[in-house]
Amino acid sequence: MKSLITHAFITCSALLVLSACSQQSTGGSQLLGNQTSKVIALEPLEKVQNPIPTQKNWEVSTGSAMGDNKVHPFINGNIIYVAGGQTISSWNTDSGKLIWKKNIGETITAGVNGSSKGTSEHIVIGTIQGNAISLNAKTGSTNWIERLSSEVLAVSPSQNNRVAFRTVDGKFHGLALSTGELVWQRSQRPPSLTHLGASVPVIVEDNVISGFDNGKIIAYNMISGQPQWEVTLALPRGLTELDKMIDIDGKINVLGNALFASSLNGNASGINGSSGTPVWLKSFSSTTGVSGNQNGIYSSDNKGNIWKLNPQTGDPIWKLDDLKRRSPILPVTVKSGLAVTADKQGSIHWINTTTGKIVAHTVGDKSGYSVEPIIKDKSVFLMGKNGLLTKLSQ
């Protein structure tokens, strides 16, 4: 089998998910309503013996509660941008001081994103009404607004004067970053039942790569929108509609020309991002996506287990089962040899990436977490569902 790592490696993970799906969606829409489900009491967290020292550098209430909308923070230089509800704001990463805040006037459901290279002048978001919006990164003033076909679920980084928006109806829209003009549009028909959210599109070379609710990852030329390659990570199977859900909702991790991603009811696999050639395939189960580096890739499965996998083969290196039924978000590695995750109760967990053991706990947003941490140097930034933005270090 061809080695996955040359200059970099590529992995896409399609992960069987939805053990605790008490919500449902129709017609490719986001999840609607709650169904009654049995509440299972959680085991208390085990006390960490001799925990490593960690520091909460600052913590601010941004006033931007995102709820179940997965709106990711974006770091641009020494500024972090966060959004939720109807507001977007920017904060100094060193001091935690507010720089600007803007009320959009409609619910923000996607973003925040900006340039894939260097300092970004445009900050891009999407809304529940289907508006693609570009803001001035320094002031928050509106550059342009473009109406798309339906609710926006994800926004790509910008590159070569292009930015791509994924909408709930399965369409993928390429816009000119400078003007907001629609340049190209592609579509994948969504299944009748889908999971909440969408993976954030990523850039590899001149292509923008997106996951879709039909279990496919597709690369499009960023300038023209022409399809470059397509990989099917999962096919519908099972007896019920829930079993057949194969959405790609989690993080697609890019390392050089290598990818890592996730899907419901599918597999973990390694794929070359330039050619779209799969290298390995493993059965796995998660909606959080995949993170990691050449030393190991990480994911959280549908039961709440944290896994470290071999990036060359997908074989397990270790499994951490201390967070079962706590819905931990995707663990992300820090330079000090640690990984950080957080759960639906608002606890933040530090994991030794060599041993797979939890080495410290920190209290965060008590409403819990739904999007993965962002790492800058040795600092960790976490945005909670209730809008609490926290900077941590070790």
Q: What span, in angstroms and rounded, lies between the C-alpha atoms of 124 and 117? A: 15
Contacts 24+ apart (CB under 8 A), 182-189: 182/146, 182/148, 183/225, 184/220, 184/224, 184/225, 185/225, 186/218, 186/220, 186/225, 186/227, 188/212, 188/213, 188/214, 188/216, 188/218, 189/214
Structurally, the chain folds into a number of domains equal to: 1
- pLDDT band, residue 272 (cuts 50/70/90): confident
Q: What is the chain's mean pLDDT, rounded?
A: 86
- pLDDT over 70 at 17, yes or no: no
Residue 7 belongs to some domain of the structure: no
Output b/e per residue, 128-138; b: 16+ Cβ within 10 A: bebbbbbbebe
Q: Between 270 and 93, name the one with better pLDDT.
A: 93
Mean pLDDT of 295-301: 92
Residue 335 belongs to some domain of the structure: yes
Q: What is the pLDDT of residues 328-377, one digit of tens each?
A: 999 999 988 999 999 999 999 999 999 999 999 999 999 999 999 999 98
- pLDDT over 60 at 19, yes or no: no
- pLDDT over 70 at 318, yes or no: yes
**CB-based contacts of 118, cutoff 8 Å, min separation 6:** none
Q: What is the pLDDT of residue 56?
A: 97
Specify whether the CB–CB gap between 341 and 349 falls below 8 A.
Answer: yes
CATH number at residue 281: 2.130.10.10
Residue 354 belongs to some domain of the structure: yes
Give me the residues paired with residue 122 across strands.
136
- pLDDT over 50 at 22, yes or no: no
- pLDDT band, residue 276 (cuts 50/70/90): confident
Residue 235 belongs to some domain of the structure: yes
Quote the domain boundaries for residue 382.
Answer: 12-32+42-393
DSSP class per residue in 174-207:
EEETTT--EEEEEE-PPPSS--S--PPPEEETTE
Residue 319 belongs to some domain of the structure: yes
Residue 3 belongs to some domain of the structure: no
Q: What is the pLDDT of residue 264?
A: 67
- pLDDT band, residue 227 (cuts 50/70/90): very high
Question: With pLDDT > 90 as the criterion, what percentage of the chain qualifies?
Answer: 62
- pLDDT band, residue 3 (cuts 50/70/90): very low
Q: What span, in angstroms and rounded, lies between the C-alpha atoms of 286 and 268? A: 9
CA 334 to chain centre: 17
Return the structure tokens found at 337.
Answer: 């040899």
Q: What span, in angstroms and rounded, lies between the C-alpha atoms of 22 and 19? A: 9
- pLDDT over 80 at 6, yes or no: no
Specify whether the CB–CB gap between 168 and 5 falls below 8 A.
Answer: no
Cα 211 to Cα 44, 147, 150, 188, 384: the distances in Å are 36, 22, 17, 10, 24
Residue 1 belongs to some domain of the structure: no
Q: What span, in angstroms and rounded, lies between the C-alpha atoms of 309 and 297? A: 5
Q: What is the pLDDT of residues 237-251, one digit of tens each?
A: 777 777 776 677 889
Residue 2 belongs to some domain of the structure: no
Residue type, 192: S
- pLDDT over 80 at 265, yes or no: no
Nearest one of 117, 72, 360, 271 to 261, comparing CA atoms = 271
- pLDDT over 90 at 392, yes or no: yes
CA 294 to chain centre: 20
